[in-house]
Amino acid sequence: MPLLLSLSFSDSDLGRFQKILQEACARAADLPREQILAAARRRLAQVRQSDAPDFIRTPMEKIGRLTDMLADDDWALAEEDAGRVLSALAYFSDARDLIPDSTPLLGFLDDAIMVEIVCNALEHELTAYEDFVDFRAAGRSGEGEDQATMQRDDWLEVRRTQLHERMRRLRGGKQSKSPFSLF
């Protein structure tokens, strides 16, 4: 029978995680985008190949969605928005963890907590991207448009623009260049 545990993080707790993320971002500042993406993918692969419990594996799968979002040429995030996602992934490109990954059972717990925190902060980006992926997969055109008259790139551009605008509006219009404004 599964057991549900809930964790509550105070503003002070979140501040600690933000500081850790800031330090990871500073260490990753000179790394190229592709290197950060590759490191995050490696971390996800490590978790998949480990004997980590499901309560760690499940949240860690979200790293794949974050890397997909940045690598998706159709989605084409603006640099400021891509910077927020890269900042979130910087933690996973850093070998300096709170809990060493080699620690039995709990080695990836800090990673799972961080991915949940950053995905919460990137909620609007992730939701918009999920909508875009669904839209693209369904092959639909924009509202009121005749699909026969619109090329794929055209209707993807229309929907991408709508979703990017919605994402920024829901985020409160913040288009921060700072990688530390996630929380």
Query: What would the pLDDT profile of 40-99 be if each residue is shown by its tens digit?
Result: 999 999 999 998 899 999 999 999 999 999 999 999 998 888 988 998 898 887 777 788
The answer to whether position 2 is within a domain reads: no
Say what the pTM is: 0.82
Asked whether 36 and 28 are in contact (CB, 8 A), the reply is: yes
Higher pLDDT, residue 176 or 62: 62
Asked whether 181 and 81 are in contact (CB, 8 A), the reply is: no
The answer to whether position 124 is within a domain reads: yes
Q: Which residues contact 39 (CB under 8 A, 6 or more apart)?
A: 31, 89, 92, 93, 94
Higher pLDDT, residue 78 or 174: 78
Asked whether 52 and 26 are in contact (CB, 8 A), the reply is: no
Specify the number of domains making up the chain.
Answer: 1
143/70 Cα distance (integer angstroms): 26
CB pairs under 8 A, 24+ apart, for 113-117? Answer: 113/7, 113/17, 114/17, 114/20, 114/21, 115/59, 115/60, 115/62, 115/63, 116/59, 116/62, 117/9, 117/14, 117/17, 117/183
Q: What is the mean pLDDT of residues 28-39?
A: 91
The answer to whether position 61 is within a domain reads: yes
Instruction: Quote the percentage of the chain above a pLDDT of 70.
Output: 87
Quote the pLDDT of residue 150. 62
Quote the pLDDT of residue 179. 42
Residue 139 clears pLDDT 70, i.e. is over it:
yes
User: Where residue 2 falls among pLDDT bands split at 50, 70, 90?
Assistant: confident
The answer to whether position 176 is within a domain reads: no
The answer to whether position 8 is within a domain reads: no
The answer to whether position 164 is within a domain reads: yes
| Domain enclosing residue 69, as ranges | 13-170
Higher pLDDT, residue 105 or 119: 119
Query: What would the pLDDT profile of 7-27 be if each residue is shown by its tens digit?
Result: 898 999 988 988 988 888 888
69/126 Cα distance (integer angstroms): 8
112/47 Cα distance (integer angstroms): 10
